[in-house]
């Protein structure tokens, strides 16, 4: 099929997958972090809050790099301007209750699963359009040959 190889470059590696794995940071985020448009959360402040939370619960320490990766995966932009911070996040004054944390974590999982499903539908739609174009080319070639 002519042109097929050049049209199959769909960027799958950039798609976010559902954030379903259990991690200490996921529990911390669900209990202590609120997504708030326009807020800025300093990376040092975030790590210090995580370390305090983790030490109370016997969870492992995480590096700045690991925390940055987790926050980026959650959709927070990592910025450098008058310090290093994460956009649209703030630390709650008091932790959410266990049931609120569970609800918040489940909402995050559902939001990410929805985003992943929508991205998959988009990719599949583009693949379908490509296959339909190639099928039309093959039909024209068969018609011409008969």
For 119-128, what is each residue's pLDDT tens digit?
888 888 888 9
Output the pTM of the full model. 0.59
pLDDT classification of 22: cutoffs 50, 70, 90: low
State residue 97 phi and psi, 5-degree precision.
-70, 165
Domains, the chain, in order of start with CATH, read 4-9+23-145 (1.10.10.10)
pLDDT classification of 10: cutoffs 50, 70, 90: very low
Instruction: Please tell me the distance from the alpha carbon of residue 2 to that of residue 6, in angstroms, as a whole number.
Output: 9
Q: Mean pLDDT over residues 102-115, rounded?
A: 73
pLDDT for residue 19: 47
Instruction: Please tell me the distance from the alpha carbon of residue 127 to that of residue 124, in angstroms, as a whole number.
Output: 5
Going by C-alpha positions, the residue among 71, 70, 31, 74 that lies closest to residue 54 is 31
Compute the C-alpha angle 118/121/124, nearest 5°: 150
Residues above pLDDT 70, as percent of the chain: 82
Residue 14 has pLDDT above 80, yes or no: no
């Amino acid at each position: 099929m002519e042109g097929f190889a050049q049209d199959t470059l769909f960027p799958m590696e950039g798609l976010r997958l559902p954030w379903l794995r259990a991690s200490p940071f996921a529990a911390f985020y669900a209990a202590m972090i609120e997504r708030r448009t326009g807020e800025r959360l300093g990376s040092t402040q975030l790590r210090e809050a995580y370390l305090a939370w983790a030490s109370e619960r016997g969870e492992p320490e995480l590096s700045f790099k690991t925390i940055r990766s987790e926050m980026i995966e959650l959709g927070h932009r990592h910025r450098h301007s008058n310090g290093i911070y994460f956009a649209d996040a703030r630390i709650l004054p008091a932790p959410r209750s266990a049931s609120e944390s569970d609800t918040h974590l489940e909402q995050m999982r559902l939001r990410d699963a929805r985003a992943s499903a929508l991205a998959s539908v988009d990719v599949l739609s583009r693949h379908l359009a490509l296959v339909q174009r190639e099928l039309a080319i093959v039909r024209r070639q068969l018609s011409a040959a008969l």
